[in-house]
Structure 1
Amino acid sequence: MLTRRLALGAALAATAFAGAAHAQSWKSAYPELVLAVVPAENASGVTDRYGPFVEYLSQALGTKVTLRVANDYAAVIEGQRNGSIHIAGYGPASYARAVVTGVKIDPFVTSVNGDGTMGYYSVFYVRADSPYKTVDDLKGKNLGLVDPNSTSGNNVPRFALNKMKINPESFFAKVTYTGSHENAVLALQQKTVDVAANWWNSEDDSNLTRMAKKSLAKKDDFRIVYKSDLIPNSPYAYLDSLPADLKAAITKAFLEAPTKAKAAFDKLSDGKDREFVKVDTKYYEPVVELIKFVDQLRKQKS
């Protein structure tokens, strides 16, 4: 009996040692992990929002996690294509663009809104002091979009306008990509555009409410003239080539963030999100189909 116990103990110890050695092996292969996010706001805003969360990830994973603030959505996609970005926070459309163009990534979590829903909307804002009540009223005016790979700031608006039988490039006097959701609102504020696309969760949770909190804009200065159907919440995706145990550790760290690093987690959404939940490629298949549709639209219009 004693011999069997010793043998069992030795086997368990060997398994634990092998597991520890395996974990150590990915840590030696990945002494640093890079997390990048698409630019919803200006660079200092992204750094401030993600700083504590990145510190938490470094502690939870036991390896250095570095935040990379990308200049545009394409930079995040290309960073994952060339393997220099290990984890990325995408919008649904930029994730789909990465997949459609052959980037080997796996979505692993998305956020749950405070009310339990798992989606958001694309909206068209106009200035509250403008005469425009509907999209039709904006014929011949200037449209501000966000980025070619933005879901709520380009792809869903183009899909919606197509449903309205509107070709943006001929309907509007000018179509401008502003670079970020904040910039789109600022362009509208400064009257360089007459209507701006943006993301919106609810009356008290949107890019505009976040800007108002930072005194960059006043919520009452703007009015919504169009709101889309629900869009699946944004995914985080890691490289498909990462070791399975590293992927599991990253997923675990994200899922545990709301309890183990509540302040850091809350800062990501100004306290508006409830938790992270697991997702997979199947969850975003409708968005991949949307991107393919928008690509077809462009080909038809060009």
Structure 2
Amino acid sequence: MTINRRSVLLTAAALAFTASAATAQDYKSKYPELTFAVVPAENASGVTERWSPFVAYLSKELGVKVNLRIANDYAAVIEGQRAGNIQLASYGSASFARARLTGVKTEAFANDINKDGSTGYYSVFFVKASSPYKSIDEMKGKNLGLVDPNSTSGNNVPRFELDKMGISDAEGYFGKVVFTGSHENAILALAQGTVDIAANQWTNDNDSTLAQMLNKGMLKNADGSAMKKEDFRIVHKSAPVINGPYAYNADLPEDLKTAIAKAFLDAPTKGKAAFDRLSDGQKQGFHAATTKDWDGTIELIRFVDALRKKKAS
């Protein structure tokens, strides 16, 4: 049999195609479905409406079904990734740091780019504008609403900020400290008078949980009229905090990781309608990130853990 250069090249091309097809088939056969977990910053129906088109876009781009899981809290996301039941997750900065500190094999690959081009936000303390309070110094004995123990803007950064003010024991300083369960619930508790001050996330006046809730008409005065931005006042704002990451399980096949990251980065153009619904006009797109980008947040979590241990001793 005569073997010429053309037949060698054709054979090599065929083998390369077969190998490529096999690689693509490998991750699809091993992961015919993926679970993407998010923690609700709003009510469950709002989360579903916001995320479902984007999850459908991911399914199309990856060639496997992506299921949306609305987790009860950050701990559920952490433990789900630890067990391998969740392959892809939207984390807050603190919850991602907590996952890493407790041995979860998770890797960050992207985070949000804000409308102004930045990739961070702030933790703020809100009060109602009708209240007399202008600073946290005036609020000893009042009720504080937090979000979740693993929330960055709703617990960890607030405790760090309070410590800088000389308040290392929030529970001892405030009359009551309550975890409301979500960013929306913290704002609702403040609006309804259940708490006097609430911690929350804030990028600017038009990009925050409060802004989203006001746009939806979710906040009402006692007479039933709609509340406005002017009905709330920020009494303290933290230093900038890096936007939380999107992360996948570290042991996913490399080609699947690459495909996931590409799908996110391509979304603003390739899946524009889904991205626009997800971002609500407040984000430019996704920024390519690495796990090390959240090393500073790990130090924050260690600091807050030390505060907790000091209080317990």
Following the alignment from structure 1 to structure 2, what is the Cα–Cα distance between the partners of residues 200 and 50?
A: 20
Letter in 2 for 1:89: S
CA contact (8 A) 1:39 1:73 kept: no
Letter in 2 for 1:96: A
Cross-structure match for 1:254? 264
Letter in 2 for 1:179: G
Cross-structure match for 1:103? 104
Letter in 2 for 1:288: I
Cross-structure match for 2:283? 273
CA contact (8 A) 1:127 1:221 kept: yes
Describe how 1:1-302 pairs up with structure 2 within 5 A: 3-166=4-167, 167-217=169-219, 218=227, 219-302=229-312
Runs of 4+ in 1 over 3 A off after TM superposition: none
The DSSP-based 3-state class of the residue aligned with 1:85 is coil
The DSSP-based 3-state class of the residue aligned with 2:211 is helix
Q: Structure 1 length normalisation: TM-score?
A: 0.98
Gap runs ≥5 in structure 1:
none
Letter in 2 for 1:285: D
Following superposition, the deviation at residue 181 of structure 1 comes to 0.2
Following the alignment from structure 1 to structure 2, what is the Cα–Cα distance between the partners of residues 300 and 223?
A: 32
Q: Output one character per residue of 1:217-241: Cα deviation in whole Å (capped at 9) or x when no partner.
A: 2322211101100000110000001
* Identity fraction in percent: 62
The DSSP-based 3-state class of the residue aligned with 2:217 is coil
Count of aligned pairs: 302
Following superposition, the deviation at residue 9 of structure 1 comes to 2.4
